[in-house]
């Protein structure tokens, strides 16, 4: 890890919550602009909660044979990872933090995003976990098999983060069959709805934001400190 020589950040990021779907390309454009503005000191950090119209996004490791049925628009996202799906009923969180000021540890940042989602899911009675060698957030589906309930994908430019995570509240799970989600064929996807839990956008957002301070504190810790 590169030691952070800047003073600790004691300000909260701006929080933006959109209820109406935001087209993916428009969100990507806004993220890129905000990334540059944060780096130059012209804008505050941002946590942006939103959803998208149906879209398949390709990460930098996406393989062509994992796009099975391009029934929706396919967009190259520029983030890490492979193919993923975004659409109505899925809550997306874009996290734009200045790690140059907070903690220049990308692995720690990703670990903390995973923990943030896992802890929030626990507030709805869902046990979830990280799985070695498999990106994302995992739980048991309605049949008891292991399934993905959340996706993780980030990009860091000039030490300012972009992209973040998505969590399946109540999407149409058949839309995931057009791709091999995150390149993992042997496991399916699930949602809070499939697990019998009704959760609105607002309920998810409030629970997530109630844990934001813990997330930010975790990002600031060094690798040797407990989370």
pLDDT 10s digits, 181-212: 765 666 789 999 999 999 999 999 999 999 99
Three-point CA angle 150, 156, 208, nearest 5°: 35
| CATH for 61 | 3.30.930.10
Does a structural domain hold residue 121? yes
Does a structural domain hold residue 226? no
pLDDT 10s digits, 3-33: 344 444 558 999 999 999 999 999 999 999 9
Does a structural domain hold residue 7? no
Check whether 84 is labelled as a binding-site residue. Answer: yes
Does a structural domain hold residue 6? no
Total number of domains constituting the chain: 1
Whole domain around residue 22: which residue ranges? 14-220
The SS3 call for residue 139 is: strand
Largest CA distance in the chain: 49
Check whether 85 is labelled as a binding-site residue. Answer: yes
Does a structural domain hold residue 29? yes
Which letter does DSSP use for residue 67 in this model? Answer: B
Does a structural domain hold residue 1? no
Catalytic one among 112, 182, 199, 223? Answer: 182
Check whether 83 is labelled as a binding-site residue. Answer: yes
pLDDT 10s digits, 66-77: 899 999 999 998
Check whether 137 is labelled as a binding-site residue. Answer: no
**pLDDT score for 163:** 96
3-state percent breakdown (helix, strand, coil) of the chain, nearest 5: 30, 30, 40
**pLDDT score for 79:** 84
Q: Can you tell me the distance from the alpha carbon of 155 to that of 68, in angstroms, rounded to the nearest whole number?
A: 25
**pLDDT score for 184:** 60
**pTM for the full predicted model:** 0.90
Task: Give the confidence band of 35 by pLDDT, cuts at 50, 70, 90.
Answer: very high
Does a structural domain hold residue 119? yes
**pLDDT score for 33:** 98
Does a structural domain hold residue 143? yes
Active site residue 182: yes
Check whether 101 is labelled as a binding-site residue. Answer: no
């Amino acid at each position: 890890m590169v030691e952070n020589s800047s003073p600790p950040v004691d300000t909260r990021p701006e929080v933006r919550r959109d209820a109406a779907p935001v087209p993916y390309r428009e969100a990507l454009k806004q993220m890129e602009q905000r990334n540059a503005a944060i780096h130059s000191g012209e804008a505050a950090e941002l946590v942006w909660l939103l959803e998208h119209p149906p879209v398949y996004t390709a990460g930098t490791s996406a393989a062509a044979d994992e796009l099975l049925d391009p029934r929706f628009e396919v967009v190259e996202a520029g983030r890490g990872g492979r193919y993923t799906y975004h659409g109505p009923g899925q809550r997306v969180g874009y996290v734009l933090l200045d790690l140059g000021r907070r903690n220049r540890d990308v692995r720690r940042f990703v670990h903390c995003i995973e923990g943030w989602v896992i802890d929030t899911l626990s507030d709805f009675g869902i046990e979830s976990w990280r799985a070695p060698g498999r990106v994302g957030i995992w739980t048991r589906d309605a049949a008891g098999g292991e399934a993905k309930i959340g996706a993780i994908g980030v990009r860091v430019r000039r030490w300012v983060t972009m992209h973040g995570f998505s969590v399946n509240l109540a999407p149409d799970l058949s839309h995931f069959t057009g791709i091999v989600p995150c390149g993992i064929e042997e496991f399916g996807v699930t949602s809070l709805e499939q697990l019998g839990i009704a959760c609105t956008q607002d309920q998810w957002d409030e629970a997530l934001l109630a844990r934001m301070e813990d997330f930010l504190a975790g990002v600031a810790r060094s690798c040797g400190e407990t989370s």
